Structure 1
Amino acid sequence: MQMMERLCHYFSYKLIPILTGSIHQPDVYVTDGFFLNWRQMKKSILKASHYVKGKCLDIGAGQAPYKKYLEEKCTEYIISDSSLTHKEMFKASDVQFVNAEATSLPFASETMDTVILTQVLEHVFDYQDVIIEAKRVLKKEGILLLSVPFIYQAHAQPYDFFRFSEFGLKTLLEKNGFEVIEFHYQGYLGTTLISIINGYIWDRTSKFRCFRNIVCLPIILPIFVFNNIIGLFLDTFKAQSFSPNFFVICRNRD
């Protein structure tokens, strides 16, 4: 029994991250169930990188997957996260971060040139307080890079509280003193459908995790590859109303 547990742990935390490229997020391989989502996020970050400058704060960063693309643009790159959720969501993480809730940051007002807030708002019940805090620590004319899910599966449970429409997100930002500079749809019907299908396959088999990760892996990964290729094709039809995620570049106008 102990031997099987060690084997399952090896496949789950060593082999699968190598086979799917999840250890290189967002540069995951097409074998990863969320390849399309990571691809879109990387594309958005690279497009927005020329806005990044000075002292940067990456709020709720988790394992800070975008640091490698942005830190050269910054004089200082600060990572903050909640130790409680970080420990649960990233069991093998060795990222050094400032332990802080997104609603109560331990930084002086108007000290940051750039704030990065990717896939965080849906995990905070008082999400408007996060926007207020991001604005507080930003200098005037400072830049906020923000992404949120729209049509996306429940994840990081039980810390998954909200979804945001395009119009609700724009209104939230504008009412809190931000000017929307650019608004991006992170994929369309293909990314939305395939991420849900792949997520369903992975989630439904999680009750038999060891069996899935050891025995079924040679079947599941090729299915992900096939699905992801289909998703790339479907995304050529730009159905904006069916986007899984939104990415916004905005400026602190006050």
Structure 2
Amino acid sequence: MSREANLSRLENVEKIDISHREYLVYLSFHKDLYTAIQQYAKGKLLDIGCGNKPYEIWSGGKVSEYVGCDIVQSSLNKVDVLCEANNIPLESMSFDTVLSTQVIEHVEDHQGLVNEAFRLLKPNGYFILSGPMYWNLHEEPYDFFRFTKHGFKYILEKAGFEVSEIVSNGGAWATLGQVINHTFEFRNTNANKVAKGLKYLFRKLRIYILVNRIFAYLDKKDFNPINTMNYVVVARKN
């Protein structure tokens, strides 16, 4: 099966606010990703699985060139190189930074993606990688993996990287709040009238906004990364 081109992708990182149904993951994920880009991005950057390049705006003044590759063209035609993530037709050691966000779970050969990032980086270059531990099935059937922090460390070190940091995006409270929002959002034709009615009221009364506020507050006061939604990982090629 071939993947569908021109899929809708994240376009504007500024549009995600308290009323967004996935606010709880983006609240911490975007904060931690922004910090990583500001601290580690430099020189020529390759974005693997770039989509619409939503994070290019954060690299302004940090990188000299921003190149994006993806398996299909994005809805805004932002992809520069069409290729598979484990077979990128670019010269070895030609980038100072490699970025790959929320892509690795969709790559059958996830180790191949990591190996390609290592090959393409110059010595002392950085790989900024992110991916989920909790998330619902999406972009099916091309949704293959979820990663713990230990899984990320293993596949990065196997490729030759030295892991600089692994940051959990959201703790147990934020994860619980996101599960609540997801559960009430999911449509199920087999649900009975009670379940359908509760889901309708949840959406109609915009209760997901209240969930966002309550669980963001609880996560801040009692942060526990044992049950996180996502990770931002930074690794260095020596």
Same-fold call, TM > 0.5? yes
Give, in whole Å, the separation in 1 of the partners of 2:114 and 2:226.
24
Letter in 2 for 1:132: N
C-alpha contact (below 8 Å) 1:145/1:248 kept by paired residues: yes
Q: Which structure: greater helix fraction?
A: 1
Equivalent position of 1:228 in the other structure: 212
> Shift of residue 80 of structure 1?
1.1
Q: Percent identity?
A: 36
- Partner of 2:186, secondary structure, is helix
TM-score of the two chains, using structure 1 as the length reference: 0.79
Query: 2:132, 2:146 within 8 Å by CA — same for their partners in 1?
Result: yes
Match of 1:73 among 58, 62, 72: 62
Q: TM-score, normalised by structure 2?
A: 0.84
The number of aligned residues is: 219
Deviation per residue, 1:207-253 (Å, 9 max, x gap): 9xxxx9xxx69944722211111220221212121011111111012
Indicate the RMSD between aligned Cα atoms, in angstroms.
2.3
Task: Name the counterpart of 1:94.
Answer: 76
CA contact (8 A) 1:189 1:234 kept: no
Residues 1-254 of structure 1 mapped to structure 2, 5 A cutoff: 24-25=12-13, 27-48=15-36, 49-83=38-72, 93-97=75-79, 98-204=81-187, 219-220=203-204, 222-236=206-220, 237-253=222-238
Instruction: Verify the 8 A CA contact 2:29 2:231 in the aligned structure 1.
Output: no
Gaps of 5+ in 2: 1-7, 191-195
Unpaired runs of 5+ residues, structure 1, are 1-12, 14-21, 88-92
Tell me which amino acid in the other structure corresponds to 2:35: K
Alpha-carbon separation, structure 2, partners of 1:66 and 1:118:
9
Stretches of 4+ aligned residues off by more than 4 angstroms: none
Structure 2 CA distance for aligned equivalents of residues 155 and 197 of structure 1: 17
Q: Take 2:17 and 2:86, find their aligned partners in 1: how far apart are those partners?
A: 34
* Residues in 2 aligned to 1:127 and 1:32: alpha-carbon distance in whole angstroms: 30
